[in-house]
Chains A and B, each alone.
With several copies, the nearest count.
Chain A
Amino acid sequence: MSNREVYMDHGATTPVREEAVEAMLPFFKELYGNPSSVHSQGRKVRKAFENAREKTAAAIGANPEEIFFTSGGTESNNIALRGAAKRLNKPGHIITSSIEHHAVFDVCRDLEKEGHRVTYLPVDNMGLLDPSRVEDAITAETFIISIMAANNEIGTVQPIEEIGKIAAGHKILFHTDAVQVVGQLPVDVKKMQVDFLSLSGHKFNGPKGVGALYKRKGVKIDPLYHGGGQEKKLRPGTENVPGVVGLSRALELSVEEIPGKKAALEALRDRLIDGLLKIDDVVLNGHPEKRLPGNVNVSFSFIEGESILLSLDMHGIAASSGSACSSGSLDPSHVLSAIGLDHQTAHGSIRFTLGRGNNESDVDYVLEKIPSVVENLRRISPMGKTK
């Protein structure tokens, strides 16, 4: 094993930044009260909790009463989509893309079982959705459109404002899974004209297990869970106060830092992409420009993703792969299939996601190690012998 550790899997999760940990700590042992309690211990906690809501709202251009805290991006997506479907209370039509995260994609699949009709819009070979396809797919039964702000695997950023305009024009609910975007790119729910937006703390150096759903004021959905009535009954359960405080602090800082960090991260990203493309038989997946600042996704021909990851890991490099061989599913990701990659190219895809703490030397380290990794695996491989 290597002594050096280079974490380039920020798209999977991020370390919690010091300031967020500091912000959380008092809420474990000193300010531990239940925010619903009448006594001063509870009231102090309520105050901090509502302050966190204000910060979260401010970070995305929302009002505090439009923020509902959840256990993460998955729950936010489920509440928005299922909650709208439950409120509709009859079969309807949903428009989404064919490259959504499973927390939207699989929800739609399940809603199909319940009688809803779902249109999974295709994207082009760079992962971009053409907004006119959304317009064309709308029917009288369409009650919600759900399009992710940016893709978690290939990093392609979608034209959300244009889709928002279409949805608003047709008075159809519009949800965006912005889990990969919040904290990375400026987000303004009003400009996007979204009715719902999902975000997740652990993607922007906040804690795991806590997220938020933005729900535009006046938009009504049915709650999925029932209980003590917290979060205006939309998401009951004793509030995860430290988590929410940590999320809001991390979010506040991440958003503040966007002007400074975005170009820097993009420069690192492009340096990595350029270096990787110098290796033979490597292609970039996703869009060359409309791309998350930290996302790099390439396919190496003739070799398989997990074995690349494993070799990188031996060098202390943490990345992820688009093939999910180890997660029980043997098919390549639906995202890579949707952008037209063949089975083998999809299986040879590796995602590096840069984030807070990564620097040029990390990129250079990866670029130094990866040629031999690829060469060794290709030497073992029965494929590509023609070159």
Chain B
Amino acid sequence: MYNEKVVDHFNNPRNVGELADADAIGETGSFKCGDTMTLYLKVRNGIIEDVRFQTYGCGAAIASSSMLTEMVKGKTLDQALAITNQDVADELGGLPPLKLHCSNLAADALHNAIENYRARQGIGKTG
């Protein structure tokens, strides 16, 4: 069902947990399947310096969360904002069609976190 990369990220999820001194927190939930994700960002000079996640969900949801954290580290906020759910799935080497929706929470949580960061910084929503 899942490819090796997905299984690896599921078995050894990267960047799990909370960040006590997070600059931003993004939450998201899939109304339909009940999955939820919380993403913590540490931002310095507009660059994502550190990241942590917590996810409730299936294998695809957990692997996508883990994958996302690897993708955003070191990226500028604008670069991070450009990451789509499809990008995450692609970076994982693909997901079964039926599980694609489960990966949709990762990029969503990221975008929410960046919004949250900008709100905290007093920068309005872009676009």
Contacts and interface: CB of A to CB of B under 8 A. Distances in A.
A267 interface: no
Interface stretch (A72-80, A283-291, A322-330): A322-330
B36 A383 contact: yes
A379 B10 CA distance: 13
Contacts of A306: 58-59
A330 B32 contact: yes
B33 interface: yes
B56 A381 contact: yes
B54 interface: yes
Main secondary structure of the interface of B (DSSP, over half): mixed
Nearest to A382: B54
A219 interface: no
Contacts of A238: none
Interface in B72-110: 96, 98-99, 101-102
B33 A314 contact: no
A304 B98 contact: no
A31 to B, nearest CB: 16
A343 interface: yes
B102 A325 contact: yes
A381 B38 CA distance: 9
Contacts of B16: 379-380
Contacts of B57: 304, 307
A382 B38 contact: yes
Interface string B18-59: 000000000100001111111000000000000001111111
Contact of A307 (B17, B54, B59): B59
Interface of A: 38, 43, 302-307, 310-311, 314, 323, 325-328, 330, 343-344, 347, 377, 379-383
